[in-house]
Homo-oligomer: A and B are copies of this chain.
């Protein structure tokens, strides 16, 4: 299977797959006689794994770590769980930060008439007048 087909099957862009190869996340693909990259089921499986892990918010280096654990038949499930837990906590922190932003914005917007008049508590809040 060529890169386009593999990309479609894995839910990635062909460019993204070449990029992953270029940064060493995946080994260099086998080539057809014409130079085209060739992908089998094994490679496709790995690409899907990567796609899912990225969708769950793991960075490329983290995916590299997960792939190593995936291929290590003797790994301890505790190692994997530790990575997952760290990511869950990181996501938790991001959510909390976004919620704080949202609360602040909602508070500012709640006091803004949002009509034709120029008076605007949102800008007043940002300028530090009312903080």
Contacts and interface: CB of A to CB of B under 8 A. Distances in A.
A124 to B, nearest CB: 9
Contacts of A114: 77-78, 80-82
Interface string A104-131: 1110110011111111101101111000
A66 B105 contact: no
A72 B120 CA distance: 11
Interface stretch (A21-29, A31-39, A52-60): A52-60
Contacts of A104: 56
Given A49-B127, A84-B108, 6 more contacts: A78-B116, A87-B105, A88-B102, A88-B105, A88-B106, A95-B99
